[in-house]
């Protein structure tokens, strides 16, 4: 459990802004921070990792105090058991993939961790290459592996997939889910991509000008429930699940995520990632104001 109860004054484009973080995060969950540019998402990750110091308050992780302004406790970043992945990879350019991982390992630690991660992240064929010879998706796989070398309990992902094209992004999302589950991590992700958020997160925290204005599961925050009308939309399948007796497909249509019941006769030929058409015939369209 991560308990955040902190405030930090930031200098926003239009003057001073207080970033107030007063919530807790359950162990093992994947949480997404969502909000406009400048809302305070990156600063939230920096405050938790120790790269930025709160003005006041407390950060308690698994019952241990990481920060307490009254008691003047401030655990340094290297003692916080955190892995951090940035949008721009931040790999060491003069080192091979293997060396990038090995260099991060503390002195005296077993090098098997490096080879295990190379295997899990399927980097075997790339391990003797330098970052400049890798594609964006491959670099980000290395960055993700490197963030896990020190066996963190918390993984911070600052828009790690924003620079990648959709096909690679979908693949990297699967790697993120894999390591999140396999290493029993608590993960905080920053993302603007509603499809990605829906696929990956257990819970979304919506920040606006330094304040949490809404939070909940992605279904509650993003799903448009009023689908009907004589419409035809093309979209992409994000998830297929069986709920009691019906099959439900979660489909991304532009930036909206909708759930559609799928007939047993259709479900066999549908896969995650398939392009599909969502259409209805019998009802009138409904127009309503969106409040996000
Ligand atoms: N160290 C700092 N001291 C004071 N102000 C800061 C500091 N770092 C960032 N800020 C300001 O705080 C505000 C929030 O920045 P932050 O990077 O957390 O936003 P964000 O939600 O991550 O935005 P984006 O989506 O553009 O990355 C910005 O206006 C920024 O200029």
Supply the CATH number for residue 267's domain.
Answer: 2.40.50
Range of the domain at 124: 2-222
State the residue for tokens 């925050």: 221
Atom of ligand 1 nearest to the CA of 42: 22
Residue 43 CB–ligand 1 contact under 6 Å: yes
Domain finish residue from 200, 222, 244: 222
Q: Are 113 and 103 in contact (CB under 8 A)?
A: no
In a domain, residue 237? The reply is yes
The answer to whether residues 27 and 111 belong to one domain is yes
Q: Is the pTM of this model over 0.80?
A: no
For residue 106, the domain's CATH number is: 3.40.50.300
Minimum CA distance residue for ligand 1 atom 25: 37
In a domain, residue 286? The reply is no
The answer to whether residues 250 and 275 belong to one domain is yes
The answer to whether residues 194 and 236 belong to one domain is no
Atom of ligand 1 nearest to the CA of 13: 29
Residue 38 CB–ligand 1 contact under 6 Å: yes
In a domain, residue 244? The reply is yes
In a domain, residue 287? The reply is no
pLDDT of 286: 55
pLDDT in tens, 6-50: 999 999 888 999 999 999 999 999 999 999 999 999 999 999 999
Residue 191 CB–ligand 1 contact under 6 Å: no
The answer to whether residues 212 and 256 belong to one domain is no
Residue 260 CB–ligand 1 contact under 6 Å: no
Mutate to test the pocket of ligand 1, among 7, 9, 10 (most ligand atoms within 8 A of CB): 10
Residue 39 CB–ligand 1 contact under 6 Å: yes
The answer to whether residues 140 and 269 belong to one domain is no
Integer CA distances (angstroms), 24 to 31, 75, 203, in order: 11, 19, 12
In a domain, residue 122? The reply is yes
Q: What is the ipTM of this complex?
A: 0.95
In a domain, residue 211? The reply is yes
Overall number of domains in the chain? 2
Q: What angle do CA 254, 259, 261 make, to 5 degrees?
A: 130
The answer to whether residues 238 and 137 belong to one domain is no
- What are the tokens at 115? 């080879």
Residue 15 CB–ligand 1 contact under 6 Å: no
Rounded to an integer, what distance in angstroms lies between the CA atom of residue 101 and that of residue 209?
37
Kindly give the distance from the C-alpha atom of residue 56 to the centroid of ligand 1, in angstroms, as a whole number: 18
Name the CA radius of gyration of the chain, rounded. 21
Domain finish residue from 176, 205, 222: 222
Atom of ligand 1 nearest to the CA of 44: 18
Atom of ligand 1 nearest to the CA of 192: 25
Residue 37 CB–ligand 1 contact under 6 Å: yes
pLDDT of 269: 85
The answer to whether residues 152 and 61 belong to one domain is yes
Rounded to an integer, what distance in angstroms lies between the CA atom of residue 103 and that of residue 97?
10
In a domain, residue 285? The reply is no
- What are the tokens at 167? 């096909």
In a domain, residue 128? The reply is yes
The answer to whether residues 40 and 67 belong to one domain is yes
Domain finish residue from 199, 222, 245: 222
Sheet of strand 154-158: strand arrangement: 82-85, 154-158, 186-190, 30-34, 203-208, 211-216
Mutate to test the pocket of ligand 1, among 40, 190, 211 (most ligand atoms within 8 A of CB): 40
The answer to whether residues 155 and 249 belong to one domain is no
Q: Are 187 and 174 in contact (CB under 8 A)?
A: no
The answer to whether residues 103 and 248 belong to one domain is no
Kindly give the distance from the C-alpha atom of residue 11 to the centroid of ligand 1, in angstroms, as a whole number: 8
* pLDDT lower than 70: segments of the chain: 223-232, 280-292
End-to-end CA distance of the chain: 29
Q: Are 105 and 177 in contact (CB under 8 A)?
A: no
What are 58's strand-pairing partners? 5, 68
pLDDT of 255: 73
The answer to whether residues 44 and 105 belong to one domain is yes
The answer to whether residues 137 and 249 belong to one domain is no
pLDDT of 98: 96
Mutate to test the pocket of ligand 1, among 15, 36, 43, 213 (most ligand atoms within 8 A of CB): 43
Tell me how far apart the 2 most distant CA atoms of the chain are, in Å: 68
């Amino acid at each position: 459990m991560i308990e955040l109860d902190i405030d930090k004054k930031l200098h926003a484009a239009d003057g001073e802004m207080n970033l107030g973080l007063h919530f807790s995060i359950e162990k093992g969950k994947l949480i997404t921070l969502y909000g406009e540019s400048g809302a305070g998402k990156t600063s939230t990750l920096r405050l938790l990792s120790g790269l930025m110091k709160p003005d006041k308050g407390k950060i308690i992780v698994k019952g241990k105090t990481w920060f307490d302004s009254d008691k003047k406790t401030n655990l340094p970043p290297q003692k916080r058991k955190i892995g951090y992945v940035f949008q721009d990879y931040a790999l060491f350019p003069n080192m091979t993939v293997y060396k990038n991982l090995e260099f991060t390992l503390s002195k005296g630690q077993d090098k098997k961790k490096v080879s295990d991660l190379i295997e899990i992240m399927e980097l075997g064929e790339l391990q003797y290459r330098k970052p400049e010879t890798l594609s964006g998706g491959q670099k980000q796989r290395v960055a993700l592996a490197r963030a896990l070398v020190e066996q963190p309990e918390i993984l911070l992902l600052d828009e790690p997939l924003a620079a990648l094209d959709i096909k690679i992004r979908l693949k990297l999302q699967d790697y993120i889910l894999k390591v999140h589950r396999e290493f029993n991590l608590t993960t905080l992700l920053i993302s603007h991509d509603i499809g990605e958020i829906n696929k990956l997160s257990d819970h979304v925290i919506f920040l606006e000008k330094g304040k949490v204005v809404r939070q909940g599961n992605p279904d509650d925050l993003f799903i448009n429930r009023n689908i009907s009308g004589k419409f035809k939309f093309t979209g992409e399948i994000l998830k297929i699940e069986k709920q009691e007796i019906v099959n439900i497909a979660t489909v991304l249509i532009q930036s909206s995520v909708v759930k559609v019941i799928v007939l047993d006769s259709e479900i066999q030929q549908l896969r995650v990632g398939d392009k599909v058409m969502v259409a209805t015939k019998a009802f009138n369209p409904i127009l309503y104001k969106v409040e996000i």
